[in-house]
């Protein structure tokens, strides 16, 4: 199961097979197998004060409401971080009785020689809980699990007898003066006051501004618009940009940052837009126009590219030939009336519904004169009865269309027989909107990867596939090859000229099976022939040499990554990524809410150890399933953490499960989407798993830095460099493979501290 294949449409038989498999994939609820943190084995008890017991822990744990107070004690909070790093920790209140009006405040951190880390760089968030009713698998359990991290905004109440964790993050600027910084976290509750010392050691090195590992996390705008109650394009763009800033701060790249700013494609010498020029069975000549509407939410159409000028008051005659994929199919032909400025005049339009069948059929209509307000008409062709909600569907072919003034033989419809010479057709890529967005996303925010959406490519997965259509011409025709070649060359040259080439990846086919290899190979070779510098990308359910030679980046579902294959092919220039989604399940490393906290951090440790250069998750904001929840009553992710199947031909209303939190690392700020209609012009709410993912990415940077300093060590430090290099080999006590790894973050923290010390030793005094 893979990121993009979730949205394919499949045959009913295949869908039934998949639906059964999805249900079977969710094991019966078993006894709780893996506790997310060892009982009484993590954290540090702080000195008692007027607010009751307090404790803290590194930001690498999931604190359950009933986790016991730790046995270890500490007089205060002690952290370390590099420049350019976000360093989180948990401060946990466990009052004996209810506390009202609790406030929490951070001070500035005073450092060496007058250096200051201001309190404005310290964020304070609640750790909130979601109720898991159906565990993801046997490793989870039903109950309240910590995940959302809404900001602390004013005072709050803390019930007695349970944990109330706060997630506090110190942001250390790149280049901050190294040394010890001291400050405090102050808690209040009415007249009660308690101050907790906070010490931060800033390391003598900084992390790079841009991440060393690449990533792809889906962030489509439709759910953002819905859950934020946004109305205008400007509002959506503003809020999406806030989401992008959040991803930047977490060293993550969105899959499709250009969703709202695509490369526009303009055709010249092509009088039709939409549909496909079909040579299989035309009425006359070499082509007809095939129009397919398989969208239950839109009226799919084809139309003449330019309006047709008409003479007011004159009578006209419309002739055409039509056939359909099914007997009795109703199609709609519309002559949309326009004024001199090109604005629609619906009251004066001509519309006709035509019932068609499997054989070609002639249709004629006499049209009386249009009023003086009408300057032109646009010819629009719909393959179904046109309804306002777009729920009708169908497939229809049109041919030999003619609109003529009464008494005249002159056809006013350009290429009404769909015969256009190839040499007369041109294509131009318009980068105006794309470039403006790219300067923001690639130059300012520094995203190091983006899925380059190219018009006209085919698509598919191991389940189904679809050939490409470009400018109305299907893949395999001379017109398709010629036009797509010109287009791809323009895209390649433009990215190169702007300095963006190499950050793109073309992800057009998902998880091919051997039966798909010839199709995938053909498409990949077509890209290589026409734009050899563009990066081709493929997700691989079955990684193997049969298909690996036709892409530059291979992304394998995590439990099928073969480190030996990576080691053998990476030196030859191939880049490897891995991805997590609904699978694998435990005992493999996973991304689910009701699994161990260490998982996402460990993902990056394994990625570096195995030479992987990227990570992918299909979505970061999957908040509802359109296959289960109606548009006017979407799922509330604050109340229901389960991710439900969407697509795959699953019937509407059937609750198939993907796992708690699959595709959902961010929460919408709207907690009551069903009733709260306020407009939220703000960014998302983070999750613990989102923060832990950033911790793992920062760990990856530590290993990259250690590699560099070992490689560049001067001869005088050769011995120490050799010792430091041993830290790059992760010991078996941390992990041996993707399903055998330590669940206690302490072992990661201890090894990370050794890595940091080695970097400092090899970089100081040079």
Whether 746 has a pLDDT exceeding 90, the answer reads yes
Asked if residues 642 and 763 have their Cβ atoms less than 8 Å apart, the reply is no
What is the per-residue pLDDT for 41? 76
Interacting residues of 110 by C-beta distance below 8 A, sequence separation 6+: 116, 181, 182, 183
pLDDT score recorded for residue 24:
35
What mean pLDDT is predicted for residues 91-95?
97
Quickly state the pLDDT bin for 8 (edges 50, 70, 90).
very low
Of the candidates 628, 627, 622, 634, the one whose C-alpha atom is nearest the C-alpha of residue 675 is: 634
Least confident of 9-18, 370-379, 696-705, 752-761: 9-18
Mean of pLDDT values over 299-308: 96
Pairing of strands 536-540, 553-557: parallel
Return the higher-pLDDT residue of 278 and 12: 278
Most confident of 330-344, 510-524, 541-555: 330-344
The average confidence (pLDDT) of the chain is 92
Q: Which of 34, 36, 41 lies closest to 68 in space, CA to CA?
A: 41
Question: For the residues 176-190, what does the mean pLDDT come to?
Answer: 97
Q: What's the pLDDT tens digit per position in 610-669? A: 999 999 999 999 999 998 989 889 999 999 999 998 876 677 888 889 999 999 999 999
Angle 99-104-105 from CA coordinates, rounded to 5°: 160
Chain centre distance of CA 749 = 29
Which bin fits 611, alpha (ψ -120 to 50), beta or left (φ > 0)?
left
Distance CA 149, CA 593 (A): 13
pLDDT in tens, 346-368: 999 999 999 999 999 999 999 99
333 - beta bridge partners? 352, 381
Least confident of 5-9, 297-301, 715-719: 5-9
Quick one: average pLDDT of 407-411? 93
Q: What number is the average pLDDT over the span 125-151?
A: 97
Residue 90 confidence class, pLDDT cut points 50, 70, 90: very high
- The distance from CA 10 to its chain's CA centroid, rounded to whole angstroms, is 22
pLDDT in tens, 238-272: 999 999 999 999 999 999 999 999 999 999 999 99
DSSP 262: P
Is the pLDDT at 110 greater than 70? The verdict is yes
> In the predicted model, is pLDDT for residue 382 greater than 70?
yes
Q: How far is CA 149 from CA 154, 345, 551, 666, in A?
A: 15, 52, 39, 9
pLDDT at 154 over 80: yes
Instruction: Flag the least confident range among 76-90, 464-478, 698-712.
Output: 464-478
Give the mean pLDDT of 133-161. Answer: 96
CA distance 750 to 729: 14
CA–CA separation, 550 and 521 (whole Å): 6
Specify the pLDDT at position 465: 87
CA–CA dist 582, 605 (Å, integer): 21
Residue 5: the pLDDT is: 41
| Residue 29: pLDDT over 50 | no
- Is residue 22 very low, low, confident or very high in pLDDT (cuts 50, 70, 90)? very low
More confident residue, 570 or 323: 323
Q: What is the pLDDT of residues 490-537, one digit of tens each?
A: 999 999 999 999 999 999 998 888 899 999 999 999 999 999 999 999
pLDDT confidence bin for 16, thresholds 50/70/90: very low
Output the pLDDT for position 543: 58
Nearest to 437 by CA among 379, 355, 498: 498
* Confidence at residue 7, expressed as pLDDT on a 0 to 100 scale: 35
The values of phi and psi at residue 606, to 5°, are: -65, -35
**Average pLDDT rounded to a whole number, residues 392-415:** 96
Which residues are CB-contacts of 298 (< 8 A; sequence separation ≥ 6)? 390
Q: What is the pTM of this model?
A: 0.91
Q: How far apart are alpha carbons 441 and 105 in whole angstroms?
A: 33
Per-residue confidence (pLDDT) for residue 395, from 0 to 100: 98
pLDDT (average), residues 712-735: 96
What per-residue confidence (pLDDT) applies to 89? Answer: 98
**175's torsion region: left (phi>0), alpha (psi -120 to 50) or beta?**
left
Does residue 544 register a pLDDT over 70?
A: no
Q: What pLDDT is recorded for position 570?
A: 85
The enclosing H or E element of 498 equals helix 478-498
d(CA 43, CA 289): 69
pLDDT band at 568 (very low <50, low <70, confident <90, very high): confident
How far, in whole angstroms, is CA 463 from its chain's centroid? 21
The size of the chain, in residues, is 766
Question: How many Cα atoms occupy the beta-carbon half-sphere of 746 within 13 Å?
Answer: 9
pLDDT at 545: 65
pLDDT tens sequence across 665-686? 999 999 999 899 999 999 999 9
């Amino acid at each position: 199961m893979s990121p993009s294949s979730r949205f394919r449409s499949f045959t009913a038989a295949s869908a039934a097979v998949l639906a059964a498999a999805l249900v079977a994939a969710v094991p019966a609820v078993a006894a709780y197998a893996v506790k997310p943190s060892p009982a009484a084995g993590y954290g540090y008890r702080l000195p008692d004060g007027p607010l009751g017991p307090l404790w803290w822990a590194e930001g690498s744990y999931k604190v359950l409401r009933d986790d016991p107070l730790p046995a270890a004690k500490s007089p205060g909070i002690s952290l370390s971080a590099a420049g350019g790093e976000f360093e989180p920790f948990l401060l946990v209140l466990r009052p004996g009785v209810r506390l009202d009006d609790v406030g929490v405040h951070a001070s500035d951190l005073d450092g060496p020689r007058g250096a200051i880390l201001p309190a404005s760089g310290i964020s304070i968030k609640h750790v909130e809980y979601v109720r898991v009713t159906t565990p993801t698998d046997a490793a989870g359990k039903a109950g309240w699990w910590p995940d959302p991290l809404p900001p602390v905004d004013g005072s709050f109440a803390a019930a007695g007898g349970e944990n109330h964790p706060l997630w506090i993050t110190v942001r250390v600027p790149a280049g901050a003066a190294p040394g010890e910084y001291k400050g405090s976290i102050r808690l209040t509750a009415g007249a009660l006051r308690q101050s907790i010392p906070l010490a931060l050691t800033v390391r003598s090195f900084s992390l790079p501004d841009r991440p060393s590992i690449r990533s792809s996390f889906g962030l489509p705008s439709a759910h953002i618009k819905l859950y934020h109650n946004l109305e205008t394009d400007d509002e959506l763009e503003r809020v999406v940009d806030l989401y992008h800033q959040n991803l930047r701060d977490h060293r993550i790249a969105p899959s499709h940052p250009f969703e709202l700013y695509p490369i526009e494609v303009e055709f010249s010498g092509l009088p039709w837009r939409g549909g496909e020029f079909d040579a299989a069975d035309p009425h006359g000549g070499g082509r007809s126009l095939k129009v397919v509407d398989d969208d239950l939410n839109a009226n799919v159409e084809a139309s003449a590219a330019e309006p047709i000028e008409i003479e007011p008051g004159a009578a006209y005659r419309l002739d055409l030939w039509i056939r359909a994929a099914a007997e009795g199919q109703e199609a709609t032909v519309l002559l949309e009336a326009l004024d001199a400025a090109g604005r629609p005049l619906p009251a004066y339009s001509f519309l006709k519904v035509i019932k068609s069948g499997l054989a070609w059929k002639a249709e004629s209509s006499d049209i009386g004169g249009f009023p003086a307000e009408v300057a032109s008409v646009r010819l629009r062709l719909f393959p179904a009865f046109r309804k306002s909600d777009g729920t009708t569907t169908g497939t229809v072919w049109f041919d030999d269309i003619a609109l003529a003034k009464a008494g005249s033989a002159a056809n006013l419809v350009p290429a009404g027989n769909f015969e256009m010479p190839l040499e007369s057709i041109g294509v131009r890529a318009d980068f105006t909107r794309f470039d403006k967005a790219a300067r923001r996303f690639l130059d300012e925010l520094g995203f190091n990867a983006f899925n380059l959406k190219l018009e006209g490519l085919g698509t598919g997965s191991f389940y189904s596939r679809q050939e490409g259509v470009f400018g109305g011409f299907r893949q395999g025709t001379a017109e398709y090859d010629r036009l797509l070649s010109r287009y791809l060359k323009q895209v390649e040259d433009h990215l190169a000229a702007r300095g963006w080439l190499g950050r793109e990846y073309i992800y057009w086919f998902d998880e091919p099976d051997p039966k798909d290899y010839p199709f995938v190979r053909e498409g990949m070779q077509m890209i290589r022939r026409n734009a050899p510098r563009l990066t081709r990308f493929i997700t691989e359910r079955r990684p193997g040499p049969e298909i690996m030679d036709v892409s530059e980046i291979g992304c394998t579902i995590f439990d099928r990554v073969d480190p030996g294959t990576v080691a053998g092919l990476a030196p030859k220039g191939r880049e490897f990524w891995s991805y997590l989604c609904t699978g694998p399940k435990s005992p493999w490393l996973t991304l689910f809410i009701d699994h161990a906290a260490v998982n996402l951090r460990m993902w990056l440790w394994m990625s570096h150890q195995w030479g992987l250069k990227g990570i992918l998750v299909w979505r970061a904001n999957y908040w509802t399933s359109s296959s289960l929840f109606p548009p006017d009553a979407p799922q509330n992710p604050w109340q229901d953490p389960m991710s439900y199947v969407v697509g795959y031909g699953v019937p509407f209303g059937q609750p198939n499960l993907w796992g708690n939190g699959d595709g959902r690392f961010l929460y919408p700020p709207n907690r009551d989407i069903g009733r709260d209609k306020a407009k939220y012009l703000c960014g998302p709410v983070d999750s613990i798993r989102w923060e832990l993912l950033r911790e793992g990415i920062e760990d990856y940077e530590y290993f990259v830095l250690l590699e560099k300093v070992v490689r560049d060590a001067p001869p005088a430090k050769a011995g120490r460099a050799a010792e430091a290099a041993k830290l790059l080999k992760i010991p078996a006590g941390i992990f041996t493979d993707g399903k055998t790894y330590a669940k206690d973050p302490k072992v990661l923290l201890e090894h990370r501290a050794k890595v940091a010390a080695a970097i400092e030793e090899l970089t100081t005094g040079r």
